[in-house]
């Protein structure tokens, strides 16, 4: 198996987790592949556990040497120009703290612009998208970044189609142009900070398959289940954005009573308001209608149930307030573009077997380091 060289091109002020999260994911995949390679070796074969079998990673900066990071922990980097003669499979640009007046390192922008064409794929984590945009790699593409910085990215680079919602975006819209020597091919961008782990797991799955990526996710004690089109915020987290407001207690109650009647009239009664006053104040306070919050909470609960258990669709539909399997299917197709069982097949963690009583056990393997 050929070794894939993954280069992290980092700037001063690097947000450390933007780099070390994906680095850890690649290393966990490497451990999985090395263990598999070692187990498959025969007594007469050459041991392979001491050499990379999947990825080689390099963290490099313009000047090389010690680089200060945003949390303050220094990291040692290679010089980027020392890699000019080396093949690069995957180029990843992690983020830095940005504001309206931030200055991007021009030498790094130039290096990315010059070297991106020779990488099989180019990626950014969080505000690393600003560097890809400055290098012209995101012109005409969909891209994401940290939700807080998405408006700034859109203002600064109007040719980029900024989408603040997804965890990550794989944009292959210019593949044909690249094959004809006219532009870049596949470009990945991810949302803020820990979304870089989601991105790395998706890259690993593309390279080595679902099983290896799932094992890496389990070693990291994270779920490999967030699709690229899913919101950066969970529905519960979005609801909690109004914490301290008049609907904080109501949101907690809604999340615990998804199978109940959550009509505007019922919610208004719970909030001790008239339906008209409640609907108006809710939109003013939360920024969306009560019905949209209910729908998002139910979809999120159903998504978790599908990814973490083998409970039948009928039971999930009832528990999450959809009423019927048909309603559940319609909601999934409308929101995710896939049927519930397709979602389960793609994003399910390792599932515990049913108990002796026949009840479906919730998955806990995803919480255990392997």
Domain end (from 164, 194, 219): 219
Lowest mean pLDDT among 127-131, 192-196, 348-352, 358-362: 358-362
**Does any domain span residue 226?**
no
Domain shared by 215 and 281, yes or no: no
For 81, which DSSP code?
A: G
pLDDT of residue 241: 55
Domain shared by 194 and 262, yes or no: no
Residue 3 contacts by C-beta under 8 Å, 6 or more apart in sequence?
52, 53, 54, 55, 56
Domain end (from 219, 250, 277): 219
With bands split at pLDDT 50, 70 and 90, how would you rate the model's confidence at 361?
A: very low
Percent of the chain residues past pLDDT 90, beyond the cut: 58
pLDDT of residue 221: 78
pLDDT for residue 8 is more than 90: yes
Number of domain units in the chain = 2
For tokens 């690249």, the residue is 178
Domain shared by 59 and 113, yes or no: yes
The mean per-residue pLDDT over the stretch 271-293 comes to 92
Domain end (from 173, 190, 219): 219
**Does any domain span residue 65?**
yes
**Does any domain span residue 13?**
yes
Contact between 142 and 49 (Cβ < 8 Å): no
Q: Phi and psi dihedrals of 88, rounded to 5? A: -125, 120
Reported pTM: 0.69
Domain shared by 268 and 329, yes or no: yes
Domain shared by 52 and 185, yes or no: yes
Domain shared by 34 and 180, yes or no: yes
Residue 84 contacts by C-beta under 8 Å, 6 or more apart in sequence?
115
Domain shared by 167 and 255, yes or no: no
**CA 259 to chain centroid:** 29
Nearest to 214 by CA among 45, 16, 49, 347: 347
Rounded distance between C-alpha atoms, residue 166 and residue 189, angstroms: 10
Domain shared by 207 and 248, yes or no: no
For 287, which DSSP code?
A: S
Q: Which residue has the higher pLDDT, 56 or 244?
A: 56
Q: What is the pLDDT of residues 213-266, one digit of tens each?
A: 888 888 887 766 554 455 666 666 566 555 456 788 898 899 889 999 999 999
Residue 99 contacts by C-beta under 8 Å, 6 or more apart in sequence?
152
pLDDT of residue 185: 75
Domain shared by 38 and 106, yes or no: yes
For tokens 């044909």, the residue is 176
pLDDT for residue 353 is more than 50: no
**Structural domain of residue 131, as residue ranges?**
4-219
Domain shared by 135 and 249, yes or no: no
CATH number for position 45: 3.40.50.880
Active site residue ranges = 126
Rounded distance between C-alpha atoms, residue 109 and residue 104, angstroms: 8
pLDDT of residue 176: 43
Q: What is the pLDDT of residues 303-334, one digit of tens each?
A: 888 877 899 999 999 999 999 999 999 999 88
- Beta-bridge mates of residue 142: 161
Q: What is the pLDDT of residues 91-116, one digit of tens each?
A: 999 999 998 888 999 999 999 999 99
Domain shared by 165 and 244, yes or no: no
Rounded distance between C-alpha atoms, residue 238 and residue 223, angstroms: 20
- Beta-bridge mates of residue 92: 8, 123
CA atoms within 13 A on the CB side of 265: 1
Domain shared by 44 and 159, yes or no: yes
Distances (CA, A) of 122 to 14, 143, 223, 354: 18, 12, 24, 42
CATH number for position 355: 1.10.10.60
Q: What is the pLDDT of residues 135-160, one digit of tens each?
A: 999 999 999 999 889 999 999 999 99
């Amino acid at each position: 198996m050929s070794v894939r060289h993954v280069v992290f091109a980092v700037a001063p002020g690097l947000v450390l987790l933007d780099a070390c999260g994906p680095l850890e994911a690649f290393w966990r995949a490497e451990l999985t592949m090395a263990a598999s390679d070692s187990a498959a070796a025969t007594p007469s074969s050459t041991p392979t556990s001491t050499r990379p079998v999947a990825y080689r990673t390099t963290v490099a900066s313009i000047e090389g040497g010690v680089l200060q990071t945003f949390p303050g922990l220094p990291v040692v980097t290679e010089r980027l120009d020392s890699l000019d003669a080396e093949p690069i499979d995957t180029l990843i640009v992690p983020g830095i703290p940005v504001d309206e007046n931030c200055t991007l390192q021009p030498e790094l922008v130039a290096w990315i612009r010059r070297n991106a064409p020779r990488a099989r794929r180019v990626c950014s984590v969080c505000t690393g998208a600003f560097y890809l945009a400055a290098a012209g790699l995101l012109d005409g593409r969909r891209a994401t970044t940290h939700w807080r910085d998405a408006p700034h990215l859109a203002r600064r680079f109007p040719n980029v189609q900024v989408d603040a919602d997804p965890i990550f975006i794989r944009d292959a819209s210019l593949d044909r142009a690249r094959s004809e020597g006219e532009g870049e091919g596949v470009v990945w961008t991810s949302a803020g900070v820990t979304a870089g782990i989601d991105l790395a797991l998706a890259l690993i799955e593309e390279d080595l398959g679902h099983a290896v990526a799932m094992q890496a996710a389990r070693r990291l004690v994270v779920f490999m289940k967030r699709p690229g089109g899913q919101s950066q915020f969970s529905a519960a987290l979005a609801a909690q954005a109004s914490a301290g407001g008049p609907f904080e207690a109501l949101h907690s109650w809604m999340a615990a009573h998804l199978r109940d009647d959550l009509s505007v009239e019922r919610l208004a009664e719970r909030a001790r308001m008239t339906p008209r006053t409640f609907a108006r104040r809710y939109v003013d306070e939360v920024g969306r209608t009560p019905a949209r919050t209910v729908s998002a909470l139910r979809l999120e609960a159903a998504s978790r149930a599908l990814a973490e258990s083998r409970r039948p669709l009928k039971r999930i539909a009832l528990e999450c307030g959809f009423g019927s399997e048909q309603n559940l299917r319609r909601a999934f197709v409308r929101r995710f573009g896939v049927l519930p069982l397709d979602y389960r097949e793609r994003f399910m963690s390792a599932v515990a077997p049913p108990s002796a009583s026949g009840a479906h056990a919730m998955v806990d393997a995803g919480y255990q380091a392997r």
